[in-house]
Amino acid sequence: MKIPEVQDKPRDVREDLLDVRGLSVAVRAGRSWRTLVDGVDLAIGGGEAVGLVGESGSGKSMTARALLGLTPPGARVTGDIAFDSDQVTTMNRRALRELRARRVAMVFQDPRAHINPVRSVGDFLTEAMIANLGVAAAEAHARAVRLLADVGIPDGERRLRQYPHELSGGLLQRVMIASVLAVEPDLVLADEPTTALDVTTQSEVMAILDELRRERGMAMLLITHDLALAAATCDRISVMYAGRIVETQPSTTLTATPRHPYTSGLMLSRPSIDTVADRLPVIPGRPVAAFESGEGCAFEPRCGHAKPHCRDLRPPVQDVEGARVACVRAGELTLRGDVDV
Amino acid sequence: MRFLLRRLAGLAVVLVVASFLVYGLLYLVPGGPMAFLLGNRSGTPEQIAAIREQYRLDDPFLVRYLAWLGDAVQGDFGSSLVYRQDVSALLTARGTTTALLVGYATAVIVVVGVAAGTVAGLRPGRADAVISTLSSASLAVPTFVIGVLLVIVFALGLGWFPVFGPGEGFLGRLHHLTLPAITLSLGSAAFLARITRASVREELGREHVETARSRGLAERHVIRRHVLRNASIPVVTVTGLTVAGLLAGSVVVENVFALDGLGSLFVRAILQRDFAVVQAVVLVLVTAFVLVNLVVDLCCKALDPRLSR
């Protein structure tokens, strides 16, 4: 099945760097399998930033891990992941290591947990350079200092000698970003890079990440539950619900004219600075995981626009004026987007 | 450096308190020290006077204590009532045996326990199942049973090891100490294997290990530099506590194998009311215990930068 190109792609991108089709991930739960990611299609061009937005448990982190072959042991991964036309799902250990070492790098959510607490910052930054790129220790050290300066940490020499517990969360996340820049990958997977940080440092860290990746021409997959953040940073956004991508649109049109009721609901439930509201509008019900959803549309039980036939069949992905939407009523509905934009 | 000085000062305090307790115990005994020292014997007035003189029983308590402490610091623990020998000379001979035994057992515990635990932690499945079963069994069997079994199989049955006697020369002594050391270490090695396994498992699931893998580092590198390195911290702590415990555990083993060590000396001294020896042995054991703990603390500090302040 050939998926039609999304119209609003940047012109200079001829071939997609990453092309994911029908990706599903399931893990064993006793005797049965639990689907966490269900038929995800995702494409990222060279230098492009794509946002993957969804609630906790919607499968976005698992999707990102599958791209690196980092799914938990025993997980069942099906579908196609083509990175620069190499199949990730069938890669052997060596190829997979090569992919992780030079081409795709990940910024994790909680730097405090994701950086080894008993090794120095210098060890963390130079480790991959020395082990993977064969850089000499002294050269790696000098590069690490320059990288720290790039991410806005001026006293690099001192920081390299320090240990993670001596740095704030914001600084640590910059260290993590620097470690990713060190290998100059083609694609950065940013898994909620600012969620574990103070609100005040969030925007700083995000700005640094985005600026540096643009300078270096790296593509980015930004995983977040913050639709506004994704809209501000990314060229395109995919919205995920219950392990499936329900809508993909360029950021500007997504915020103005969401096509899926879930996307619209997400935007309406954000507090606005201009209006005083006693109660924020919410999407009724609770989010479900992929394995909990039934035959039909996973969002149907919570959807204000649901019709009886939504329950029968999984809605196919259709093109609606440049948007790719998995909703049978996408064509007929006019949904409210972000009032502020 | 300041940490070390602080710890050494703390060590001195612990030793002073311990020595005070050890010395004071003599005077808490029902019937007073005289009855305790004489036991069932009825001494002549000259003997009683001699004992009073030797133990300075006519001086006030604190004066006696300080005099004893002063001598003890210089290595003079007085002389044994039973052996008619300097206590320090007795201790040196026995102490070497016990130190060798505990050192030998420690080596066995660390090598076997850590290796088995690491294998079990890294390889779930058959290796893990076999090691876990063996360690449960070793933990469940009491020391003296293991000792007797080993003697029956390896000394009497196969004749690989001697049953008793100290042995000649360093290698000879090690040969003689092999069965006792294995007996002493089996339970602790099993315990350490369990701790190591749990620690390795826990580190394997840590987020920073996922980071290391996501960076394309070789699995061997990840295991060595991140999993084992971090897992070693609790293992070192537990090893230290275990070794300290061996000092006490050696009493049983020395009796089973009829070794002339501190433990057997201690038990006999208590039974024979040889008080100078009891005081000296307790003091030596406490010192060893505290020193082992100091070494463990230093190791942990070196391994875990979060403990530095």
Q: What is the pLDDT of residue B31?
A: 61
The residues of B whose Cβ lies within 8 A of any Cβ of A are: 206-208, 210-219, 221, 225-226, 229-230, 233, 303-306
Question: Do the chains contact at B208 and A117, CB–CB below 8 Å?
Answer: yes
Q: Please give, rounded to a whole number of angstroms, the shortest distance from the CA of B62 to a CA of chain A.
A: 49
Q: What homologous superfamily does CATH list for B87-307?
A: MetI-like (1.10.3720.10)
Query: Which residue's entry shows tokens 């494409």?
Result: A43
Reported as a single tens digit per residue, the pLDDT across A69-109 is: 898 888 999 999 999 888 998 889 899 999 999 999 999 99
pLDDT of chain A, 341 residues: tens digit per residue: 444 444 444 444 446 899 999 999 999 988 889 999 998 999 999 999 999 999 888 889 999 999 998 988 889 999 999 998 889 988 898 999 999 999 999 999 999 999 999 999 999 999 999 998 889 999 999 999 999 999 999 999 999 999 999 999 999 999 999 999 998 899 999 999 988 888 888 888 999 999 999 999 999 999 998 888 899 999 999 999 999 999 999 999 998 889 999 998 888 887 766 777 777 778 888 888 888 887 888 888 888 888 888 888 888 888 888 889 998 888 888 887 765 54
The answer to whether A144 and A180 are in contact (CB under 8 A) is: no
Contacts of B215 in chain A (CB under 8 A): 100-101, 105, 127-128, 132, 179, 183
Cβ neighbours, 10 Å, residue A261: 25
Cα dihedral sign, A75-A78-A83-A87: positive
Radius of gyration of chain B (CA): 24
Q: What is the pLDDT of residue A44?
A: 93
Q: What is the pLDDT of residue B38?
A: 67
Sequence-separated contacts (24+) of A311-317 with Cβ below 8 Å: A317/A41, A317/A245
Q: Do strands A16-29 and A76-83 pair parallel, antiparallel, or not at all (unpaired)?
A: antiparallel
Reported as a single tens digit per residue, the pLDDT across A276-320 is: 777 777 888 888 888 888 788 888 888 888 888 888 888 888 888
Contacts of B306 in chain A (CB under 8 A): 117-118, 163, 165
Question: Do the chains contact at A113 and B217, CB–CB below 8 Å?
Answer: no
Interface probe for A, chosen from B204, B211, B227, B233 (most Cβ of A below 10 Å), is: B211
Q: Please give, rounded to a whole number of angstroms, the shortest distance from the CA of B221 to a CA of chain A.
A: 9
A133 touches chain B (CB under 8 A): no
Structure tokens of A4? 């039609």
Rounded Cα–Cα distance for residues B261 and B284 (Å): 13
Degrees, nearest 5: CA angle B157-B158-B163? 75
Beta bridge partners of A238: A52, A248
pTM surpassing 0.95?
Answer: no
A320 touches chain B (CB under 8 A): no
Which mean pLDDT values do the consecutive 10-residue runs of chain B (309 residues) have? 82 86 76 64 74 73 82 78 78 85 92 93 89 89 82 82 72 84 89 94 93 92 93 92 84 82 84 81 85 87 81
Its ipTM equals 0.85
Nearest CA in chain A to B303: A118
Q: What is the pLDDT of residue B287?
A: 85
Beta bridge partners of A239: A53, A247
| Burial per residue of B17-49, b for 16 or more beta-carbon CB atoms within 10 angstroms, e otherwise | ebbeebbeebeeeeeebeebbbeeeeeeeeeee
Question: Do the chains contact at B213 and A101, CB–CB below 8 Å?
Answer: no
Q: What homologous superfamily does CATH list for A16-111+186-241?
A: P-loop containing nucleotide triphosphate hydrolases (3.40.50.300)
The answer to whether A103 and A185 are in contact (CB under 8 A) is: yes
Nearest CA in chain A to B225: A119
Amino acid letter, residue A330: A
Rounded Cα–Cα distance for residues A3 and A113 (Å): 39
Domain boundaries along the sequence of chain B: 2-73, 87-307
Nearest CA in chain A to B302: A118
The overall average pLDDT reported for chain B is 84
Q: Please give, rounded to a whole number of angstroms, the shortest distance from the CA of B230 to a CA of chain A.
A: 7
Rounded Cα–Cα distance for residues A185 and A219 (Å): 9
A165 touches chain B (CB under 8 A): yes
Interface probe for B, chosen from A62, A68, A116 (most Cβ of B below 10 Å), is: A116
Q: What is the pLDDT of residue B61?
A: 78
